[in-house]
Chains A and B, each alone.
Chain A
């Protein structure tokens, strides 16, 4: 349990209590906000999805220090993979395929999650391999281009053979089904009836926790150290025998695989995907979650993802009614206000908390910046 609360490392009982409390809170949370309407539970489910996405991007940007502006492409790859494998789209466009699958294409979640991870991971390597020599701004531009290429492909792959149905997107995607329980219907557990959004919320929450678990363990390992070394000084890392190319590719593909899984879950949740869900703006929003939350710091990134995904929902539910009350009509659209506040938040955070709202604690003792170091004795001049 200390995994989730590293500051309580020396107190396993407190860590256990904190974990149980937090888990209980997260389990009853949808019932608390659900009283205000299912839209709020839906927002929570999306928050969990964004936590996965942001943590995946954090592996690339935070751990390995590679600025990736096209991350949403992997989300798109995962979403379209699920959409194609679990909707009537392919069978209705390719009669030959329909002959093989007379009952239509329906993929089990147990197949889709590993496949989403694998295919997106593969795309991560495909993107990573040619751009490894680039750094900083140059890398950002190329990855931005890659993200756009994927979106444009999805937009145009409807002729001559209709793979993606172009801008109309793919509809009638199967909901998630676990052990015969369809997530599209209300599940009656006897003591409580769980509606569809609640089921998805729990599923995404579970996946987000798994993602956190994997990220924490990766960070605190030989590989995590290698990533940090590359981020700090690539030439020195090479001289220490780290195969920088492979280690970077691994960051790209691991990060992408989380995006892929999140994407396939998104497709199942929405029942519909179209290229416009995967615009550059989405990449930027996920990156903002990482940067605003605390780049490279897992709890910070989780916080950033939760804040930035709940915030627009909050705005949507308050701004319009408030303006109608005050002025009798809507003067500023919630969407416009959201972008304005995003910009403002960026500026404020960069000015006052450049390392994020909840920044990563410094490694070890820094005698010049905290009192603990002074107590431990500053290093004597050699």
Chain B
């Protein structure tokens, strides 16, 4: 099964997300200082950094959970202001959560169907009257949700309660649910957290697959090995500032990155990312 091509221009080099001059301050802590990223269509873009570097803050600003102090955003060529989380999904950024947030009592299929909410229109009246368009839409929602479960490889658990799925499958379901919103950008917050080596490998395959089908991915990850093997471009944050940006190879050889991860003469030692 193929994901539909992203809407809009078919120019492969088009910029999907451009964020610049993003600042966010929590009291005395400058969590983000003049952070900017440019993500091109079809890329897997990695955002890494030691603990407390501001990765998740940036992620939450981007998805409307926090409001930035300043900064400008452009999504698919249009100015975009991440004001409220539900508008973010509508604009075309779908996210997953570091600590999985599925709808635990609903089935896997229903979880994916909820993802279609933002792209469907049936009203309460349509639901009560079971109009022709409502029935057609409902069938389309179901079909698409099943397709996506198949795509991420958990179709056989469609009728299982989400909370009963294995950990790796829950991650996959979260990705399927996010894909159901027809995102321009799929933002994954530490998808490999808590996964064993086998699960990480199959996650890597899945993400490559999604990228090859034309969905752009923003990946926040602790696992440096995974990021380096998977991402097309990487931004490294430390203390809220960008310290390196480039291809994985460029970033790996950057002195600033090595210092941030392994500690330099004038900084407190930072934690080494798992698997580094």
Contact = CB atoms under 8 A, between A and B. Distances in A.
Interface string B109-151: 1100111111010111001101000100110010000000000
Contacts of B118: 240-242
B245 interface: no
B164 A242 contact: no
Interface in B94-117: 94-95, 97, 101-110, 113-117
Interface string B28-39: 000000000000
B273 interface: no
B105 A232 contact: yes
A365 B160 contact: yes
A380 B138 contact: no
A228 B159 CA distance: 16
A225 B157 contact: no
Contact of A229 (B114, B120, B128): B114
Contacts of A381: 166, 168
Interface in B233-265: none
B169 interface: yes
Determine the main DSSP class of B at the interface with A: helix
Interface string B186-217: 00000000000011001000000000000000
A71 B27 CA distance: 42
A229 B113 CA distance: 10
A366 interface: yes
A363 B107 contact: yes
Given A226-B117, A379-B166, A233 B124 contact: no
Given A362-B161, A368-B164, A225 B114 contact: yes
Interface stretch (A37-45, A143-151, A213-221, A297-305): A213-221
B149 to A, nearest CB: 12
A376 B107 CA distance: 15
B161 A364 contact: yes
Contact of A221 (B134, B167, B178): B134
B160 A364 contact: yes
Interface stretch (B6-14, B50-58, B68-76, B85-93): B85-93
B224 interface: no
B114 A237 contact: yes
Find the residue from A213, A238, A368 having the highest chain B CB count within 10 A. Answer: A238
B166 A380 contact: yes
A222 to B, nearest CB: 5
B267 to A, nearest CB: 34
Determine the main DSSP class of A at the interface with B: helix
A250 interface: yes
Interface residues of A, number: 40
B159 A240 contact: no
A60 to B, nearest CB: 14
A239 interface: yes
A222 B127 contact: yes
B168 A382 contact: yes
B165 interface: yes
A247 to B, nearest CB: 9
B81 interface: no
A363 to B, nearest CB: 5
Nearest to A382: B168
Contacts of B169: 379, 382
Contacts of A243: 86
A6 B54 CA distance: 50
A316 B104 CA distance: 44
A233 B102 contact: yes
Given A221-B138, A364-B159, A238 B164 contact: no
A225 B166 contact: no
B124 A236 contact: no
Find the residue from A217, A229, A367 having the highest chain B CB count within 10 A. Answer: A229
Contacts of A379: 157, 160, 164-166, 169
Given A223-B124, A223-B127, A362-B161, 7 more contacts: A222-B137, A229-B103, A239-B63, A242-B118, A362-B105, A367-B164, A376-B159
Interface of A: 213-214, 217-218, 220-226, 228-229, 232-233, 235-244, 250, 254, 362-368, 373, 376, 379-382
16 contacts: A213-B128, A217-B128, A218-B128, A222-B138, A223-B127, A232-B104, A236-B101, A238-B86, A240-B86, A240-B94, A241-B117, A242-B86, A363-B105, A363-B106, A364-B108, A376-B159
